[in-house]
Amino acid sequence: MAVNYFGSLYCIRAVLPAMEQQRQGDIVLISSGAGLIGIYGYTPYSPSKFALRGLAESLRGELKLMKINVSIVYPPDTDTPQLEEENKTKPVETKMITGTAKTWRAEKVAFEIVQGINKKSFTITPGIEMTLLSRFHSLLAPGINWYMDRIVAKNS
């Protein structure tokens, strides 16, 4: 929470007065696929990314009339040093759950984010997997939970 939620909140608080004065700006919050659905092994991480969604949704409405656009990004696993380190200690169950998704290059994720900002999109979801998860989470959740529970049960 200190890094993902409060770090984002404090950055917004630092730049918002200038944006409000200019009556323009773009705020982009970086969540995660793990901010759309809780994933085994991400208990410390997922809630902080879910919290960003609530922040983005609240700010979107409050800042819209000031022409300050708010976006939230749900990137897939991205080939970064952070993911490389994370994979060293990730539980086997988590590796099996996340291993079915394609890992994206950071440059491609950045390109998708810039496109979303230019379109003034609230939700930016690079790739079909994140798009489907974002749009159909409530419908997909029972099946996804069943799938994850089976993986965890096999490895317990």
Provide the pLDDT confidence category of residue 141 given band limits of 50, 70 and 90: confident
70-100 pLDDT per residue, tens: 999 999 999 999 999 989 999 999 999 888 8
CA–CA distance, 48 with 35 (Å, rounded to integer) = 8
* Structural domain that includes position 15: 2-154
Asked whether residue 155 carries a pLDDT value surpassing 90, the answer given is no
Q: Active-site residue among 32, 42, 49, 74?
A: 49
CA–CA distance, 51 with 69 (Å, rounded to integer) = 19
The count of C-alpha atoms lying within 13 angstroms of the C-alpha of 84, restricted to the half-sphere facing its C-beta, is 5
Q: What is the domain-level CATH number for residue 35?
A: 3.40.50.720
**Count: domains in the chain:** 1
Asked whether residue 61 carries a pLDDT value surpassing 80, the answer given is yes
Q: Active-site residue among 8, 31, 48, 134?
A: 31
Q: What residues does 69 pair with on adjacent strands? A: 26
Concerning whether 31 is annotated as a catalytic residue, the answer is yes
Q: Determine the distance from the C-alpha atom of residue 143 to the mean position of all C-alpha atoms in its chain, rounded to a whole number.
A: 21
Asked whether residue 156 carries a pLDDT value surpassing 80, the answer given is no
CA–CA distance, 59 with 55 (Å, rounded to integer) = 6
pTM, rounded to two decimals: 0.86
Asked whether residue 127 carries a pLDDT value surpassing 80, the answer given is yes
Asked whether residue 21 carries a pLDDT value surpassing 90, the answer given is yes
Between 42 and 100, residue with greater pLDDT: 42
